[in-house]
Amino acid sequence: MTASKLQCNDASYADPKFKPKRFKDIQRSPFKDRCILYLHVNDMIITGDEVQTVKDEIQAKWEMEDFGVAKFAVGIKIERDKSGNYSIHQHRMINHVLERFNMSNCRPASTPFGYNIELLKSTDEDHAIFIKQNPNYRKAVGSLMYIAICTRPDISFAVGVLSRFLEKPNQLHWDSFIHVLRYLKSTDNLTIKYTSQRETDLKPNPSWTFPEGASDTDWAGDRSTLRSTTGYVFKFMGGAISWRSQLQPTVALSSTEAEYRAITEAGQEALWLMKLMKQLEIPVNTPLKLICDNLSAIHLAQNPVHHGQVKHVAIEHHWIREHVSNGTFKMKNVYTSEMIADLLTKNLSKGPFVKFCQMIGMTNDVRIEGDC
């Protein structure tokens, strides 16, 4: 069964104006009843006001097998406790990767990268020696990408850095990949937890019921290119729902410029999330809060005057000013020690790394152990 069949063959189902990735919203009434369908090939998850009614209607027209409460979706384990809190993880997939690379019994590590490690481009000689002995670097890094995208923002920076060397890896790059596996071994049961409002304050807590985002950069952090890494993360109901760690396409001439670019990228993702939540009829208060630890970048986003140090910045990065001025976003400054997006821009020591993981809703009922 496809979404198009479901919509076209029944006039009671309306095609949404906004079509987010992997989601389909089916509205049975403009006033009350709502049902949201998640479709992926032949798998479907249904949630909403009249789940059983919708299942009955689908089964009346197409063959469908009902597996009950959702527990898995595209390799992601979904768990719900008695308090209504949800958690997601990929314990099974992580263990499969560990087995694939003979790391099931490896020595654990407490962070994805060894502290203070610096990866550089490989020389032709080092690459030639390594590739003869081990041609599997691309497959190895690729095995981590889906995990980093879906449920493990804590390894996103590490996987992003390793991806920079797909064309010409060497032994040090491979050793760093192995270190990520050692970290995954010690945190294979790490989950992202989304806490129900019932467990929060008696009064509605905006940081739970409305999304908020944080962005950061590591200015000129890539020593091979001197480009900066953009990182952003958005939280909802106490857990991370969207994140990214990516090398900026060009060199930034100042930390202000690098941070300003990151704010713009975070703002674009925020706008998409707001549209998605509006379609799903989840209340979103505006302005949505965007957190940054660079005051100069915040002032630039709030002030339409062209400052001398950024007068060369491309027009598309000034997009954020318009949305701050019209009330879509509100900038907030925090100390660097409280900047959760640091997790996505640089190699951190164990203390701040664990702290930021906890701040984005990552919990581990087992342990985070091992050396760095």
Taking only the tens place, the pLDDT of each residue in 111-124 is 999 878 889 999 99
Domain spans in the chain, listed from the N-terminal domain onward: 4-74, 91-189, 200-363
| pLDDT tier, 306 (very low <50, low <70, confident <90, very high otherwise) | low
Q: Is the pTM of this model over 0.75?
A: yes
| b/e code 139-177 from CB counts within 10 Å (16+ = b) | ebbebbebbbebbbbbbbbbbbbbbbbeebbbebbbebb
366 has pLDDT over 50: no
Per-residue pLDDT band for 318 (boundaries 50, 70, 90) equals confident
Distance of CA 372 to the CA centre of its chain: 23
Task: Say yes or no to pLDDT of 315 above 90.
Answer: no
Q: Which two tokens stand for residue 252?
A: 């930034």
Tokens 């701050």, residue located: 324
Phi, psi of 344 (to 5 degrees): -105, 5
Residue 121's beta-bridge partner residues?
A: none
Residue 243's nearest CA partner among 154, 351, 110, 338 is 154
Supply the pLDDT for residue 6.
Answer: 52
- pLDDT of 17 > 60? The answer is no
Phi/psi-derived region of residue 116, left when phi > 0, alpha when psi is between -120 and 50, beta in every other case: left
Res. 41 pLDDT band, cuts 50 70 90: confident
- Residue 93 binned pLDDT confidence (cut-offs 50, 70, 90): very high
Alpha helices, DSSP H only, in 101-218?
A: 124-133, 137-150, 156-163, 171-186, 206-209
pLDDT digits (tens, 9 = 90+) for 240-290: 999 999 999 999 999 999 999 999 999 999 999 999 988 888 888 889 999
Say which DSSP state 31 is in. S
pLDDT at 163: 98
Q: Please tell me the CATH superfamily of domain 200-363, with its number.
A: Ribonuclease H-like superfamily/Ribonuclease H (3.30.420.10)
The residues, ordered by sequence, that sit 6+ positions from 54 with a Cβ below 8 Å of its Cβ are: 26, 28, 35, 37, 46, 48
